Structure formats: structure tokens, C-alpha cells
Structure 1
């Protein structure tokens, strides 16, 4: 027996925003755009994280990698790295002078955060 009930079919909804029903409201926020300076910082953070994966891990490199991961996430979420986040990177890079001499990516990042 066939029915005449209305039906709704929703296909792929990735990166979509929709609302259904009376008085519904849909609002979408799909990431933010980083400033050119923060885009450069993000690229340097990613490069240093990749380089850190190629060196012998220590407590110091693990702490630096964790701070880099936090910075990467913050820029991806908000479009910028806060001054306190930048200060933390300066501290960790300042404590890693030997690393700055070995990894060009560490020296690049140090320059970007003002070390």
C-alpha cells in the first residue's frame, strides 16, 4: 500500500548549515582566517613540529612540541596566537639554544616570536 506522506531527504551535509521547523535559526562558523603574520607563524610552527619528529625526543623537545601543538590549534580555531602563547614559545625556544643552532626551522620561529 502506497502512502502520500511527505518525505525529506538530506544528502551530504558536511560544511553546511541548516535549520528545520518553525522559529528555527541556523548560524554557521567554519573556521577563521589568520592574518598574514599569523599565517607565517603557523607555517613556522608546523615546520618546526615536523623537524622535531626527526630528532631524538627529550623532555624539553616534548614540552616544546606540546606548546607548538597548542599554538597550531589556537591559530586554526581563532586565526591568531595570543601574546601569552607567543611568550611561552619565546621561553621554550630561549631554553633550547642548542636546538636553535641545529634546526633552521627553530631559528625561523624564534625570529617570528621575537627571540
Structure 2
């Protein structure tokens, strides 16, 4: 499968870039809706985030463990628990995941699930 579209961007950068744009919009909509009322759009965004968190957790089990991947795995487990318990991931939790993903740029480039989560977090 040829993933080169001639625009000098790798497949991973396209996935991350596309998801970042989508998540920036989702996050701002979700923040507004949360401030006004609970809605179906907020639930959908949260479900997407939960799915991305779970997918990356599963993929992390397939890579060699490092301090970075261990910290990321722990933060992902906490995020999953928070989402399943409260129905959302708070701003502090999202920021922590952004920081860990930012510190793991090589991982984001390799694992599509990491790129997907980065996009959902507005990176």
C-alpha cells in the first residue's frame, strides 16, 4: 500500500495532524457543551477518547518497556478509570497525557494509536 501522497508528509504525521485538527474542534465543542449542559456530542467525544486510550494501552504492551512507556501506561490506566467512573477526563488528566505523549514523540510516530490519542488531546 503506497502511503505517499506527494506532499512530503509521512503517514504518521498526516494521521497525527488530521486528528489534532479534529480533536481541537471536538475539545472546544465539548468544553462549551460541558459548561452549558451534557449532550450527545460530549458523550461521543468522550467515547472516542476512551477508545483511543484503550487502544494505546493495548499497543504499549507490545513495545519494550522504558520509564517513558511505563509512565504513559500508568497515566492511560488512570485516564481510563476516570472516564469510566466520572464520564469524562478532566483538564488536568488531559494535560498530563499531552505532556507524556510530547515526551514520547518517537512513540507517537511509530504507533498509530499514540498518534490518534495525541490528536484527540489537541496536540
TM-score normalised by length of structure 2: 0.66
**Distance in structure 2 (CA, Å) of the matches to 1:44 and 1:36:** 12
- Bigger radius of gyration, 1 or 2? 1
Give the paired residue count. Answer: 82
Does 2:93 correspond to 1:85? yes
Task: Give, in angstroms, the shift of residue 108 of structure 1.
Answer: 0.3
User: Which residue is 1:45 aligned to?
Assistant: 53
Segments of structure 1 that go 5 or more residues without pairing to the other structure are 1-33
> Which has the larger share of helix?
2
User: Which residue is 1:57 aligned to?
Assistant: 65
Match of 1:66 among 74, 83, 88: 74
User: Which residue is 1:7 aligned to?
Assistant: none
Match of 1:98 among 88, 100, 106: 106
Runs of 4+ in structure 1 displaced over 2 angstroms?
none
User: Which residue is 2:44 aligned to?
Assistant: 36
TM-score normalised by length of structure 1: 0.70
Task: Give, in angstroms, the shift of residue 35 of structure 1.
Answer: 1.1
Task: Return the structure number with greater relative CO, CA threshold 8 A, min gap 6.
Answer: 2
Q: CA RMSD in A?
A: 0.9
